[in-house]
Structure 1
Amino acid sequence: MSEQQRAPRRVTLKDVAKRAGVSHQTVSRAINDKGEIDPETRRRVLDAARELNYRPSRFARGLVRPGATTLGLIVSDVENPFFPELIAGVIEAAEERGWQVLISSTQNHSGREPELIRTLAAQADAVVGYLSAPDATLAAAAGGLPLVIMGRVVHEPAFGAIEVDTHAGVRAAVGYLAARGHRAIGMIDCGDDGQPDRRPAFVTAMTEHDLPVTAGAITEADLTVEGGAAAFTALRTARPDITAVFTFNDMLALGVYRAARRLHLSIPDDCAVIGFDGLPIGELIDPPLSSVALDKRRMGALAVAEAARLLAGEPATRALLPVELVIRGSA
């Protein structure tokens, strides 16, 4: 077949974006007549589309409801009991705005985060996520797509962020244990979760109460119940004098319970336990788990509000989610 007989290459959304001098997400919003776009920008995009004779494919048009804003949501594991409330908060807040939500999971492989962001960029107007990859890695994948990160400190100025008041929560937990007379307090950390602030918050809080952070008092765990169990067993072997443990999250605290039973230890008589996240399952175990609780639905709602700000062209902001120390039977 000669060059003249070949069908011309189909004009793509990216071709229109290049002609108009905007991102392909902006082209998508303009063509789908979505509200979060400047009228002059919309006019420029539509002019470019007409000049290039751009026609959206049937597949692309089928990805979203006509005129609807689509929000991508990325979490690490939909089966993790932390995320159902967060997902519900995002969906509820998005539906109040008439938005639809596409949910993706990394399945606990943070290396998949850039890939998922690039995939969602072709379908969504903005993305919110509980993400742990470095800011620079996420920025390269986003390519200008409005992005809101939940649960950790963010330094990239283009990203919105819903940060957790970790230091206040950890300070409250250590202060409570100190007031109860505990001097040897250990921590089970999870260094690979993209939230490196909890360990320094623990060290700072211990220092504020003149409590020593001695060798072997902090150990790391895989982010699973069994990981928490293995870490607590190692901690007690190295430091049998420890009488209280603060855990990176409630899942690891559940592992402490499992290991304590195996070691014939009583909670809180032999070792007090305080977790972080405030999962509902903590109320169902015996004794009920003390935890630094945060409102996960509220986190989701704040992320949606920040995504709306970014789509409206406003500067990115940082929201701080408060926490509350909930004392139950474990401490």
Structure 2
Amino acid sequence: MTNNRRTSKRVTIADVAREAGLSPTTVSHSLNDIGQVDPRTRQHVKDVAARLKYRPSVRAQRLRTGRSHAIALLSSMPAAVSAGESQLGFFTELAMGLARRALLSGYVLVLAPPMDQCDPLSLMDIDGAILLEPAPDDLIAQELDERAVPYVTVGGEPGPNNIDLQHAAAADLLLSHLYASGARHPGLILGASGRASQRSFHERYLAAAQAQGFTPVVAMAAEEEGEAAGQQAAARLLAEHPKLDALCVPIDTFASGALHAIEAAGLSVPGDLLLTTRHDGVRARMCHPPLTAVNLHLDAVSSAAVQRLLQILGHEIKDPLLDLPVPDLVARLSTGA
């Protein structure tokens, strides 16, 4: 039996260098967007490589550079709040945008699902990481520092290597919307971890209480207990504060739990209470009624996070995303929309 498939010699860096009239090092730096190479030379190399149908060998790149060309998405948030039973929470939704952007930049994304009893870094060969909403004294952040692994945070403390999720803007959107929708005694349910998002929502809620003249009513819930913790916190607030007419619950897992508590108390949303959450994700859209939330523009957040990490790793970024879109309110039936 004859094999009719045409075989051809693989085009190498040396072939491109010979055709371009440049050194293999210059060609390598040009193709990988690293080093100090004149932009016209870099483009010339890419044009020659395209004409010769050069395809880089990922294995050779790893051996040559000592890099894995892999980055990881990490989070210390318990799976109960970051993904939930459906595995379609904030963490996994952000991962899709990160994986797409990383792959277009020549990297693969390693998704390390939140695990309470495992050190994921001991099992991975990565060049860098993106850490989602770290807690104060976050153990994963400490491990990254100890291992000298470059990383970017998303929704963490302000700084040059943090991608801002604009917590205060999101909180103001939801709280002002509740007031405009008729709420005069709103309550707040937060995660007890002390993450930047929860602290910011607390601060903006207290500011709104002072500005609008209502008494603050706040409950804390344990992240690791997931939806059940949100349900218990909401039930407690409803029993202790019968005048409540709205709940702002930034963590969407807690928000769906709050909805169960409201129904168990014989009340309805939005008839008796208005209900909002932060992330406009699958959970917010699939609740009954659907929850008013905020579009955090996760595609833009993903692009900015990958770009910043690649800059830290030494890559030149063309047209970096400098300003993220401001969050947008997505009004739904849970607030009467």
Structures share fold, TM-score greater than 0.5 = yes
> How far apart are 1:292 and its partner, in Å?
2.1
3-state SS of 1:197 partner: helix
> How far apart are 1:146 and its partner, in Å?
1.7
Query: In the alignment, which residue of structure 2 is the partner of 1:54?
Result: none
Query: In the alignment, which residue of structure 2 is the partner of 1:201?
Result: 204
Amino acid in the other structure paired with 2:301: M
The question of 1:222 aligning with 2:225 is answered: no
Tell me the C-alpha RMSD between the 2 structures: 3.3
Query: In the alignment, which residue of structure 2 is the partner of 1:99?
Result: 107
Quick one: distance in 2 between partners of 1:102 and 1:188? 32
Identity percentage of aligned residues: 21
Query: In the alignment, which residue of structure 2 is the partner of 1:73?
Result: 73
Amino acid in the other structure paired with 1:328: R
Quick one: distance in 2 between partners of 1:94 and 1:173? 32
> How far apart are 1:275 and its partner, in Å?
0.7
Query: In the alignment, which residue of structure 2 is the partner of 1:294?
Result: 296
Change (3 A) 1:219 1:135: closer
Amino acid in the other structure paired with 2:332: R
Query: In the alignment, which residue of structure 2 is the partner of 1:90?
Result: 98
Partner deviation per Cα, 1:224-245 (whole Å, 9 max, x = no partner): 1111111110000110110001
> How far apart are 1:144 and its partner, in Å?
3.6
> How far apart are 1:248 and its partner, in Å?
2.0
Query: In the alignment, which residue of structure 1 is the partner of 2:155?
Result: 151
Query: In the alignment, which residue of structure 1 is the partner of 2:51?
Result: none
The question of 1:330 aligning with 2:330 is answered: no
Query: In the alignment, which residue of structure 1 is the partner of 2:246?
Result: 244
Amino acid in the other structure paired with 1:252: F
Quick one: distance in 2 between partners of 1:135 and 1:192? 10
Partner deviation per Cα, 1:173-224 (whole Å, 9 max, x = no partner): 111221233211100111216232221122123333x23234xx10011331
Change (3 A) 1:222 1:140: closer
Change (3 A) 1:165 1:205: farther
| Preserved CA contact (<8 Å) 1:70 1:126 | yes
Q: Mark the runs of 5 or more structure 2 residues left unpaired by the alignment.
A: 1-27, 37-58
Quick one: distance in 2 between partners of 1:125 and 1:148? 12
| Preserved CA contact (<8 Å) 1:127 1:146 | yes
TM (norm. structure 2) is 0.69
Query: In the alignment, which residue of structure 2 is the partner of 1:56?
Result: none
After the TM superposition, which residues 108-257 of structure 1 pair with which residues of structure 2 at under 5 Å, given as runs? 115-117=119-121, 120=124, 123-134=125-136, 138=141, 141-142=144-145, 143-155=147-159, 160-192=161-193, 194-195=195-196, 196-208=199-211, 210-214=212-216, 217-223=217-223, 224-257=226-259
| Preserved CA contact (<8 Å) 1:64 1:70 | no
Partner deviation per Cα, 1:136-180 (whole Å, 9 max, x = no partner): 86256324422101122245x6xx111111111211211122123
Quick one: distance in 2 between partners of 1:106 and 1:282? 21
3-state SS of 2:334 partner: coil
Change (3 A) 1:246 1:149: same
| Preserved CA contact (<8 Å) 1:293 1:325 | yes
After the TM superposition, which residues 14-93 of structure 1 pair with which residues of structure 2 at under 5 Å, given as runs? 35=32, 38=35, 69-75=69-75, 76=77, 77=79, 79=87, 81-93=89-101
> How far apart are 1:259 and its partner, in Å?
1.1
TM (norm. structure 1) is 0.70
3-state SS of 1:266 partner: coil
3-state SS of 1:287 partner: coil
| Preserved CA contact (<8 Å) 2:133 2:154 | yes
